[in-house]
Structure 1
């Protein structure tokens, strides 16, 4: 972890410690009071031994008072520890809840370019596993370290009041333990960071395998995926074993060895005091009691540094995600009112030096139907992504109703443009939820959009109509019905521009005719740009743009393009028609 990342991560995590000062103050107050109650017990034991037991002076009232004080201190310590734990846990859960919300909210605002290389499993791991690990920083580390540090201070003060020399001997443990912690952090840090990364890789592999299970089994790729998973799993095992070995060597065993050494030193020093006649048995009892409580907090602190390492690495991963730049939109009142699209000298590349679109220009009047065709990789879907401002452009201009594309706010742009992707996205919920998508549209608007998408008959057949639960991925609907649902979703917002990315590529001929009828009814009312694979579906388009390797090869109506003897469009159309006739004959 670099110094800049460490500072950023520390700033992120510490902001929640001081964010709720009232809660932190209460937790700290309970912590101090609990420490006082803990430290009071051995001191009362020392008083009983030296003042009453050794001189054999058993005064009933004094002994009862001493006993009640002892019992009261232990009960108070238990209750105060409970309150301290609850307050620190509340602080931790509040922090994790907010960090998880921030991370998920930020992911939804990241530019599409980020998702071109991001893996779903790793993102899920950062938002779930890593944020959960951060909770341990507050509950298991911060709480334990603060409580034990204050307990150590209290014990040292009590020791000093009893015997300053013995206290100084005990205090030698502290710098020695700090050295152990330094060595642990140095040796375990890289292994912990690698283990967190490999855990994300495991999640990503599982997510990828489950998502493509049908293809994986159909192509008999199980052995290869099992081998890849085993490799990552073995790497994770080795990384975790490295951290465990370092912990086993430098944490508890080292502290136990040091504490035994200090214990021997204290007994030796006490023996010297006995020979001079100045030793008190009660002091030895209290010191041995305090020493047991003294070494335990040090051991707790060192053991919690394992959690600290994991939390800091997890915090670094979450902080890196949150620091990813968001897509920027202007906050202007410009709105899409008619759907006039003008594209001039547009050039675009995902990577520098590898252009995808070259000098693309066209003018689309409101209500026109514009089709974009071409072979795979010609830039058709990229053009739609650029029009949606998923990828900002640096060369050329795109104007909507005369306004630059980049001048529109996010809400106004999404309100004015509807997208119908090739693969329908269905959320878990009802049919109503999937059409409305949280926009709180009136039912009349939803039914109108369903009618425009010719989805009304399907709604009538469903047991609960619009409120029918669709299941994950819309399993209760056919592929064609899911596509009609997506069209209804786009139309429900009354967009002025409708973009269709091969919307009929994966549906049967009957459903294709239904979708085509819906689009013909919208012709003239909504500006439409259709990326089409089946050329027979865009014969009625006002303009057809033929792309080849990102360049405009041809443009015109269907009839105009069919008149070109050696034209690319005519060649593509004839090949499709021939393939269709062969299919019908077979």
Structure 2
């Protein structure tokens, strides 16, 4: 990754957790203080050895007490840093997950949610924690190591300048190894994340289609496809493990050679009488700590290179929302208060360049009921998705204008497949809005759902989804219809909702449409002719 790209990526990530940066700095300083206390251990250990060599009982006990105090202080600092870190991690995780979830709710539905469900789920399951870890653990760890390395280095210079420069020189090796192997692992990790997305998506698809899989006795076929995905994940994991083993081998070999060389060089200075055993012990401990810090920082740097894959995935997810291209506009005309939905020169095609909608022009007056008809694949549902803002592409695939003249672009959309989440019937009806009991009761009577709900043990507070009560397909469609009618929107879209309705509810829908057409602008996709007599117009898409 280029330096400029790395800097931009890190800057974006910092802005993502901006409210927590002051606390993060304080925690880093606190942790640094604990690490600083531990840097005195080699000096006092050397003093203890010299006291033992000289049989100086007083100094021996004095420096031993100091070592004990510093070690206990370091232990207390470590415990406190761990606890404060946990509290901080909890707050930052809740904050970032809520931001990511909110961004997810604003993504263009047809372009993202249905296409990349595996990726979206994995952003929450693993990528987000890896991204947070860069700023809460990895970068503070490297900064801590650099400062402590400076402290230890200055002390090592005072003891033995030659040993310091040898230590500094050989410390370049772990950094080089981390950069080399980190870049290789990051490439593999990116492929692993993409394959993991496919794995998660496949599980979602299987759960969704479980009934059909059982009906067609296709368990073996789907198991084989599942194993193909899993085997590919493990092939990539094998490559990553081999690179990690190569990195470990190179690191061990270099450290082994360096340690033996240093012992020989330093040992000769003791044998020739140039240094005392205590002084050289302190010097060796400082040298070892310095090199350990470099190796640790290099390893963290390697982890950061791998974590950049997750950070980039999070960034792309937020940018996808920002780059969303919409042709929807709201226009106010204070002179002419006529309300209309206007479609101008609408064109749409998928990535294969096959035109789904070509030069569509039409006006829909408010209030009215319009039926949208056409052959399968003509683009009826696509049109409704564009009008509702659920389908957004770049300018090459989508162009034209959708104008809500003196109307709000906020609308209600009832689809063929109803969205029901784990919650009460009331939650699924109101979506968190405060709606009077009388209004809810009136709507439920219109959609013929009132008697069904009244016969449930907990009535409107009955829980849906999971192991709780599950409505039939027709009842769920009635609930979705009721939800739509409870919203104060001027425009309503229906996408073949009558397909899942029984005879009684279909008659109720006909009556509802007769009443609503004088209050709302309704666009209804249908293949049936049952509503032709009450419609104000029929819009055919060929």
TM-score tier (shorter): 0.7 to 0.9
Matching of residue 248 in structure 1 with residue 245 in structure 2: yes
Q: Is the 8 A contact 1:381 1:501 kept in 2?
A: yes
Q: How many residues were matched structurally?
A: 533
**Which of 529, 532, 540 is 2:533 aligned to?**
540
2:260 aligned residue: 264
Tell me whether 1:513 sits opposite 2:507 in the alignment: yes
Indicate conservation of the 8 Å contact 1:17/1:24, yes or no. Answer: no
- Say yes or no: does 1:212 pair with 2:224: no
Q: Which residues in structure 2 correspond to 1:68-79 (within 5 Å)?
A: 68-79=65-76
Write out aligned runs for 1:417-496 (5 A): 417-472=411-466, 475-496=469-490
| Structure 2 equivalent of residue 555 of structure 1 | none
Query: C-alpha distance in 2, partners of 1:422/1:10?
Result: 43
How far is 1:490 from its partner?
Answer: 1.0
3-state SS, counterpart of residue 530 of structure 1: strand
> Is the partner of 2:370 in helix, strand or coil?
strand
Q: 1:355 to 1:513 in 2, by over 3 A?
A: same
Cα distance in 1 for partners of 2:113, 2:473 equals: 26
- Once residues 39 and 334 of structure 1 are traced to their aligned partners in structure 2, the CA distance between those partners, rounded to angstroms, is 74
Q: State the alpha-carbon separation in 1 of the partners of residues 515 and 331 from structure 2.
A: 33
Partner of 1:341: 340
CA distance in 1, matches of 2:490, 2:183: 60
User: 1:298 maps to what in 2?
Assistant: 294
**Kept in 2: contact 1:106–1:326 (CA 8 A):** no
Task: Give runs of aligned pairs for residues 56-71 of structure 1, distance below 5 A.
Answer: 56-59=55-58, 62-71=59-68
For residues 282 and 376 of structure 2, the distance between their equivalents in structure 1, rounded to whole angstroms, comes to 82
Give the C-alpha shift of residue 177 in structure 1. Answer: 1.4
Deviation at 1:169, TM superposition (A): 2.2
Mapped to 2, the partners of 1:356 and 1:314 lie a distance apart of: 35
Q: 1:490 to 1:39 in 2, by over 3 A?
A: same
CA separation of 1:24 and 1:390: change in aligned 2, threshold 3 A: closer
**C-alpha distance in structure 1 between counterparts of 2:268 and 2:97, whole Å:** 59
Unaligned 5+ segments in structure 1 are 552-586
The whole-number CA distance in structure 2 between the counterparts of 1:397 and 1:156 is 67
1:82 maps to: 79
Query: 2:154 matched to which residue of 1?
Result: 157
**Counterpart in 2 of 1:525?**
519
Partner SS, residue 422 of structure 1: coil
Q: Distance in 2 between matches of 1:24 and 1:342?
A: 51
Alpha-carbon separation, structure 2, partners of 1:505 and 1:334: 38
Superposed displacement of residue 327, structure 1: 5.3
Instruction: Give the distance between the partners of 2:391 and 2:261, measured in 1 at CA.
Output: 70
Structure 2 partner of 1:583: none
Name the CA distance, whole Å, in 2 between partners of 1:17 and 1:155: 32
Q: Which runs of 5+ in 2 are unaligned?
A: none
Deviation at 1:529, TM superposition (A): 2.2
Aligned to 2:124: 127
Deviation of 1:268 (Å): 2.2
Offset, 1:166: 2.1
Moved more, 370-379 or 196-205: 370-379
Instruction: Out of 434-443 and 267-276, give the one that drifted further.
Output: 267-276
In 1, are the aligned partners of 2:138 and 2:300 still within 8 Å (CA)?
Answer: yes
Correspondence for 1:273 = 269
Which deviations, in whole Å up to 9, do the C-alpha atoms of 1:485-542 show, x marking residues without a partner?
Answer: 111111112333322111111223233223333333434333322211332x214223
Shift of 1:230: 1.9
Q: CA RMSD in A?
A: 3.2
Residue 556 of structure 1 corresponds to none
**Residues 116-158 of structure 1: CA distance to partner in whole angstroms, max 9, x if unpaired?**
8722122111233211222332455234333333333332223
Contact 1:202–1:232 under 8 Å retained in 2:
yes
Residues 256 and 356 from structure 1, CA distance in 2 versus in 1: closer, same or farther, beyond 3 angstroms? closer
Is 164-173 or 480-489 further displaced after alignment? 164-173
Distance change (3 Å), C-alpha of 1:158 and 1:221: same
- Residue 169 (structure 2) aligned to one of 156, 168, 172: 172
2:9 alignment partner, SS class: helix
**1:310 aligned partner:** 306
> What TM-score comes out, normalization by structure 2 length?
0.88
Q: 1:4 to 1:428 in 2, by over 3 A?
A: farther
Corresponding residue for residue 371 of structure 1: 371
Helix, strand or coil: the match of 2:463? Answer: coil
